[in-house]
Amino acid sequence: MAQATRARVFYYGLSPEADLWADHIEGLGLEGIRFQLHYGSETLHVKIPLLGRHSVHTALRAAAVGLVEGLTWQEIIEGLREPSAQLRLVAVPGPKGAIILDDTYNASPASTIAALNLLDELDGRKIAVLGDMLELGDYEQEGHEKVGMRALEVADVLITVGPRGRIIGETVLRWGSPTDRVHIVEKNEEAIALLERIVTGDDVILVKGSRAMQMEEIVNALGRA
């Protein structure tokens, strides 16, 4: 793509070959992430409230846009510390003192596995509520199976929502998970009713699915419980 345009191409990533790059990435659980940001001869130490190590890519993308638009480092860092709610996985209070990881804005196999990686870093009983990932085309079956393999490793309790989410649950069961750890439902209302019965104060609950699944309904219902 860079060769196909006369426009300036700005590279960002995790390699020193990029114009803007990051290293020394450290996940801080529910406090966010910490990393070093490099641009030319400058190095900045950054701590931001985005959850999960994968969120450094979101921060790099936003910082790159800021640099191209001529913002100062102070403006860029302040912006990273107050990211748009639509761009972030957020932790919100749940019933009985549980914590909900609200990542309901959208979902792909890669972002769902990244969210499961964050869940894996946290203390407490881990509940993953995972819905359909849409618009995957020919990758639909394989993508949901890959998420299922990671969920098998991470989740103490798995709840899947929707016909494609069922693939996740069936993958976990096929690979030997106890049946009482896996709950396959079709609708958000069923997931809500189940969660209201089983949640304890020790739980961390990840809720994630494609936007069309409207899984924020689950987060909102649990927040009122």
Report the largest interatomic distance among the alpha carbons of the chain, rounded to a whole angstrom.
Answer: 59
Range 144-160 average pLDDT: 98
Residues 212, 89: contact at Cβ < 8 Å? no
Range 36-56 average pLDDT: 89
Range 148-169 average pLDDT: 98
**Three-state DSSP state, 64:** helix
Numbers of helices and strands, H then E, in the chain: 7, 10
CA–CA separation, 218 and 14 (whole Å): 35
Instruction: Output 225 or 89, whichever has higher pLDDT.
Output: 89
Range 26-48 average pLDDT: 90
Range 128-139 average pLDDT: 97
The domain segmentation of the chain, as residue ranges, is: 2-85, 89-224
Global confidence as pTM = 0.80
Asked if the model's pLDDT at residue 6 lies above 80, the reply is no
Which of 134, 120, 148 lies closest to 206 in space, CA to CA?
A: 120
At 207, the amino acid letter reads V
For the domain made up of 2-85, the CATH class stated in words is alpha beta
Range 5-34 average pLDDT: 88
Binned at pLDDT 50, 70 and 90, residue 32 comes out as: confident
Lowest mean pLDDT of 29-33, 85-89, 185-189, name the range.
85-89
Neighbours of 39 (CB within 10 A): 17
Binned at pLDDT 50, 70 and 90, residue 55 comes out as: confident
What is the third-level CATH fold of 89-224? Answer: Protein-Tyrosine Phosphatase; Chain A (3.90.190)
